[in-house]
Chains A and B, each alone.
Chain A
């Protein structure tokens, strides 16, 4: 009895019944799974035993692929295997198993990570291209936890100190957001719902992620300017712009989604913004609706790969097509954003492009495209943190000035993944598309999904659909592209010398881009009537 109570003796005891039982269990486990040692640390340092864990892990993988469908994966084992393989990959020469290539390791690692964090294989591949391995793990882990709740003080109605005091009195635990923001507060915990306090209802603050303060700070709106917020819902950034302008000048808050505009109107009124006009246009129509703005904020619709912690559905729901579709829309939007700015503006002439996505296709690529297409250059965003944008990515080379764009990640900055680029427009002239090949290649990305439709309809669109192929259709081609980009601005006189047939074709092409522009994610259904219309036109002809 004394023996049981004495801790010293207890420690000295040899492997007892419990330990034997445990070992029995391990042996049993090992019969099903070749020994996936849970604590491989003692063996690792010597590395005399060649790649203990990784050997196993690869074997485990091979045997598991057979078992996989039958029994559910043990996440713990997978996690161990991810860790092991990560370590191997970082010191591949020493720790790898003989005869295994890096590709094999990477493929296994990717499959494991996809299973463990439940991502689609495609998205994980994309992420692997963006991040080095240790960072990738951090990123994936950061996506599993929510970002802190942050609010922005509405300086139109109150001061941050007063607001903080009022909220503390209601039992909210908060802190200033960081040195870079004078208006942000981060909420640790709260005994009252933070979105329904009397202060919130009175418009003293706005619930807003830290990352969405940044584009507005980069935009740096001045008083008495004309500003366009192209995709404004739910109005957080718009109201921040109004606050920085002290309710002077004017803001045109636009969004293409009428449903989401309700919250914009509600928020703007609640926050006491009086200098805003809210409109419901397609952003791509923009220089036509109204132009000559001093600054434009384009918070483009995106695939949302930076906000996975908010919307985990992104993990599996996005594929290559979705991303390219977004990228295409973004390219159209960024051109109309640039066209809406007045380069001769005394105080402005700036465009800020931002997305809550971290893929290169939706960010650097779009920015690079805009640099080629318009008289703009990139300038510093004025944010002294964040990572530089890529100037080279796999086989792509972007303009070196892309260094001045900024990327923000959940794991490094504890805010949503974000990308911000700031342009300065230096001329209102639109450069002629001199390199037809590059531009068509980039726009043609979008053509394949359209092609089947147009091939079905008539021969005229079929010509169009074929044009993005490398066959040089020099006369019609660049013009149609240009039409696509700038709408009605090309002088009509240019077409005169061409033959009647060509004229007709290019006129067709003039209609066509609108159609090609249509199939944005939610407009697929809207395309059918348009096609009918164009077919009717053809019949008339």
Chain B
């Protein structure tokens, strides 16, 4: 019988996702923390980021009745692809290397699940490459979600206002829109 909480080996299924998720090698900082040992655990195809202290407690809860622990980072799909979920935003945002700020007017649009258009783009980190994972902020520096840069910073300057600059991946609006599928 498999242990109830399996460790995600870093070379395993979730390995390459750290590159995609906009924080790159900063993922090291998530595991080596001064305030205790933190780790990633797989439970029911979801990856949870949890302190070891909490993990010990969670082991006493029957696996069937354990719903969540710590912070959910994402899930493996039925085809074994890893999807980051918006619940990981709290940990991605502080370590994000590439950021995009959206104007107040198009904040709402992004929170409804739409891509960010050039017209709504407030700022963007220099040297963002095309298809780089980025964290999306409001102009007041509140993290709103994350996505993938559709254009590099250079190209963003040239495109017309209605062109998409960031593909939407996840936004905090999902807490309301799809609360049922978060877990």
Contacts and interface: CB of A to CB of B under 8 A. Distances in A.
Interface in B114-162: 138, 140, 142-144
Contact of A281 (B65, B87, B175): B65
A250 B172 contact: no
B42 interface: no
A290 B172 CA distance: 33
Contact of A277 (B62, B68, B171, B183): B68
Contacts of A281: 61-62, 65
Contacts of B172: 198, 201-203, 270
Given A201-B176, A250-B53, A265 B61 contact: no
Interface in A252-303: 252, 258, 261-266, 268-270, 272, 274-281, 289-290
B90 A272 contact: yes
Contacts of B60: 289-290
A226 B173 CA distance: 32
Interface string B30-44: 000000000000000
B163 interface: no
Interface string A486-511: 00000000000000000000000000
A246 to B, nearest CB: 12
Nearest to B178: A266
Contacts of A264: 67
B107 A226 contact: no
Contact of B173 (A199, A201, A289): A201
Contacts of B176: 195-196, 201
Nearest to B69: A277
B100 interface: no
A266 B172 CA distance: 11
B57 A277 contact: yes
Contacts of B72: 265, 269
Given A266-B179, A277-B57, A279-B66, A198 B90 contact: no
B61 A279 contact: yes
B71 interface: yes
B40 to A, nearest CB: 13
Contacts of A276: 68-70
Contacts of B175: 201, 266, 269-270
Given A265-B182, A265-B183, A202 B107 contact: no
Given A198-B138, A265-B183, A277 B58 contact: yes
A409 B58 CA distance: 38
Given A198-B138, A201-B176, A202-B142, A274 B61 contact: no
Interface residues of B, number: 36
A277 B71 CA distance: 9
A277 B54 contact: yes
A187 B144 CA distance: 24
Contacts, number: 98
B61 A290 contact: yes
A279 B65 contact: yes
B182 A289 contact: no
Given A266-B175, A269-B175, A250 B62 contact: no
Contacts of B61: 252, 277, 279, 281, 289-290
Contact of A252 (B57, B87, B142): B57
Contacts of B70: 274-277
A196 B177 CA distance: 10
Interface string A170-207: 00000000000000000000000001101101111000
Contacts of B180: 262
A268 B176 CA distance: 13
Contacts of A280: 65-67
Contacts of B8: none
A261 B66 CA distance: 11
B27 interface: no
A340 to B, nearest CB: 12
Contacts of A202: 142-144, 172
Max chain A CB contacts within 10 Å: which of B66, B67, B138?
A: B67
Nearest to A259: B180
Nearest to B138: A198
Contact of B71 (A226, A263, A269): A269
Nearest to B112: A196
Contacts of B142: 198-199, 202, 204
A262 B179 CA distance: 7
Interface string B76-120: 000000000001001000000000000000011001000000000
A269 B182 contact: yes
A262 B180 CA distance: 6
Given A198-B144, A262-B179, A265-B183, A289 B62 contact: yes
A196 B71 CA distance: 22
A319 B53 CA distance: 46
Contact of A274 (B67, B71, B111, B143): B71
A280 B65 CA distance: 5
B68 A265 contact: yes
25 contacts: A166-B140, A195-B176, A198-B138, A201-B111, A201-B172, A201-B176, A252-B61, A261-B67, A261-B183, A265-B68, A265-B182, A265-B183, A266-B175, A266-B179, A272-B90, A276-B68, A276-B70, A277-B66, A278-B69, A279-B61, A279-B67, A281-B62, A289-B60, A290-B57, A290-B61
- The 5 nearest A-B residue pairs measured at CB: A201-B172, A269-B87, A278-B67, A278-B68, A265-B183
Interface of A: 166, 195-196, 198-199, 201-204, 226, 250, 252, 258, 261-266, 268-270, 272, 274-281, 289-290
